[in-house]
Structure 1
Amino acid sequence: MATDYVLFIHGVTIRNPNYADELFQRLAQSASDRNFHNIPFYWGDINQQPETKLLGQLRSSSDWNQMWFHNIREQQILPFTGDAALYISRYVGAKIVRKLKKQIADSGLLKAKPDDRLHIVTHSWGTVMLFDILFASRWEDQNAPAHDDVMAIRDAIFGVDGENRDRYQGIKIASIHTMGSPVAIFSLTDVKSDQDETGASSSHDITPNLQTFVGQNEIGASSSHDITPKLQTLLKSLQEEASPREKLPWWNYIHPADPIAYPLQKMMIDLVDGYTEYLDIQDTITHSTGWLGWLENLIAQTPLAQTNLPLLLSLLPDNPHGSYWHNDEVIKKIIHVVKNKTPKANSLSRSV
């Protein structure tokens, strides 16, 4: 029986390795005739020591007690920006990548069978990490920390250029689900000045590799902010093997009170130069339930929705940004998409 691998990548501030249990259990129970394999990647522990050290240094400042918003600074801003900054760093980013590669290898995904499939579910900064690992050029320097690990991950996925350079091997991505994603903002790191005529791109530029993932780049050279090359190649590579021809489903879940979540459909269509024949990306609004849902609905009907007051919802334990993992709308949509993706034995696999 074919295996449906489900790779979960959490975002910032997550300190619970069991964050995806409910979602995966409901998915597996909904389709008992399918063989699901859970890969809940957890990287929150890697950042705890440096962030705890920094917090201790801040608290030791003679001015700390005079500063406002201690809880927000310590429990929201520091973990959020700290996790993001640490991943971008070479050292911590490499540690996270090595851990991801090991977990993927332990799951058996690197030796997936021809009809196995991969479903990716990312939250918040986890979406940025996914794009970075699969497509960013900063990992292509052979002397870069974790270079080999990144290449092994890329080689294992159909349509992505890695060290092997044979993108027609590896497991196929069957669906992508992004929750509370800030990718729209992160894409600004690829913007190049109009006066920059060197053609050089940022090491965080994911354009070339993303184009390769979606399809062959048939439009010539692109600017450094255009992520089209590798994404086009990925999508087109998937289509060349698909029977019947179908689009890659990508659902982007947005809670209206989540300040980190942004629409992706229009941006991604522009970034892949209109390759909509290969990509079915949908933005979908989610809602809370119970008393919180009632409160959010009340706020949405008033001018308060466009003020800073609703940001106080982020202080709640089940805040909008973290609500996706337990949101019925999100879970049911993921289940629907995954169940409708019937395995087809038409891909190759490689050993790493």
Structure 2
Amino acid sequence: MHIITHSLGTVILWDILFSDKFEANDPAFKIRDILNKSSVDLPDRKIHLKSITTMGSPISLFNIMLEVKPQQVNFLAQQYTSQKLNWLNLIHGSDIIAYPIHPVLDSQDLSSLFLTEEYLQENVNPLEATLEQLSELLNRKSAYPQEITNILSYAQVAAGSLNAHTYYWKSDRVAYLIVNHILEQHNEQVLNQTLCIQQAIQRLKQVPGFTEDQMKLSETLSLDKNISKINFKDQSGYLVFSKNFLGIHNVYIFDHQDRACLAGYVGLIHVPGLKQEVEFIQRELGV
């Protein structure tokens, strides 16, 4: 079984699978028993929970009330599958209802879940596309104050929020990600095939809005304010995430001999996606 949910449906799924606030006779326990790999009542069950996909999810917001703990998720996920439960959470950058789930699952003991969160930055209507083009035009002309481009970036998010929460159903990119997730062509397979430094470079290049800096100024310029430094667990190198004096977020990757392998940056509108990717790299590839 592959479960795909959207919006409030993601919260209902979260509640059914992981909440501990039900009465003993609640139907949620019947669903859990069907999914339980060691069910006493269903020893010959043919349903196996293989993956979960959530879109536009406000789980992090509703969990303030549901109070599901990471330990509870970890324990119950182990009942549903013999391997890690693969979870893909899709978040459009302009969807004001969608939130990352990993803050709720911030636990060192979460061994039964493999969570991947993908940010989507596709324009969802003509107004958002027009504002993006105008913002990029002004960014190329240094005569305009940064405040103006910042306002345009926020206006772009506001324009996109009108349609972003339902855009998942129309996006070819979403369909592609879900199909690959169901077919298990996801990042967990890649993690065992290449060096951490190569994986990190590949992932960063796929971040929406990421622009490579071929001059690799990081080798000579050290005025950036470091946000974080991540040493890769296989000792192949490290990542530096920083913000320069103009407020632009940069990311650099160095090999184990301190040679710059990648340097790049994103604009304001794409900062959440870059931060999300850096956090993923830190969780999965860092020490």
The alignment's TM-score, normalised by the length of structure 1, stands at 0.42
Match status 1:137 vs 2:15: no
What residue in structure 1 maps to residue 164 of structure 2?
Answer: 320
Match status 1:294 vs 2:170: no
**SS of aligned partner of 1:331:** helix
Q: Which is richer in strand?
A: 2
The gaps in structure 1 that reach 5 residues or longer are 1-117, 190-203, 208-225, 342-352
Deviations 1:143-191 (A, max 9, x none): xxxx2x3232221112599xx68899662211111111111111212xx
What residue in structure 2 maps to residue 177 of structure 1?
Answer: 53
Within the candidate set 100, 107, 112, 1:278 is matched to 112
The gaps in structure 2 that reach 5 residues or longer are 137-148, 186-287
CA 280–260 in structure 1, closer or farther in 2 if over 3 Å, else same? same
Aligned residue pairs total 172
Whether the aligned pair in 2 keeps the contact of 1:254 and 1:263 (CA below 8 Å) is: yes
Within the candidate set 9, 21, 28, 1:150 is matched to 28
Deviations 1:250-273 (A, max 9, x none): 1111111111111122432x1xx3
Deviations 1:291-343 (A, max 9, x none): 6463464477531366467434444xxx00110111111110111111237xx
Share of identical aligned residues, percent? Answer: 29
Deviations 1:194-221 (A, max 9, x none): xxxxxxxxxx44x4xxxxxxxxxxxxxx
Higher RCO (C-alpha under 8 Å, 6+ residues apart): 1
Paired AA for residue 283 in structure 1: E
Within the candidate set 64, 89, 104, 1:188 is matched to 64
Deviations 1:34-73 (A, max 9, x none): xxxxxxxxxxxxxxxxxxxxxxxxxxxxxxxxxxxxxxxx
Whether the aligned pair in 2 keeps the contact of 1:257 and 1:320 (CA below 8 Å) is: yes
- Measured in 2, the distance between the counterparts of 1:296 and 1:249 equals 36
Within the candidate set 321, 326, 333, 2:177 is matched to 333
- Measured in 2, the distance between the counterparts of 1:170 and 1:311 equals 46
Whether the aligned pair in 1 keeps the contact of 2:132 and 2:153 (CA below 8 Å) is: no
Superposition RMSD in Å? 3.3
**SS of aligned partner of 2:104:** helix
The alignment's TM-score, normalised by the length of structure 2, stands at 0.50
CA 291–182 in structure 1, closer or farther in 2 if over 3 Å, else same? closer
Paired AA for residue 254 in structure 1: I
CA 120–185 in structure 1, closer or farther in 2 if over 3 Å, else same? same
CA 288–307 in structure 1, closer or farther in 2 if over 3 Å, else same? closer
Whether the aligned pair in 1 keeps the contact of 2:91 and 2:120 (CA below 8 Å) is: yes
Match status 1:123 vs 2:6: yes
What residue in structure 1 maps to residue 150 of structure 2?
Answer: 303
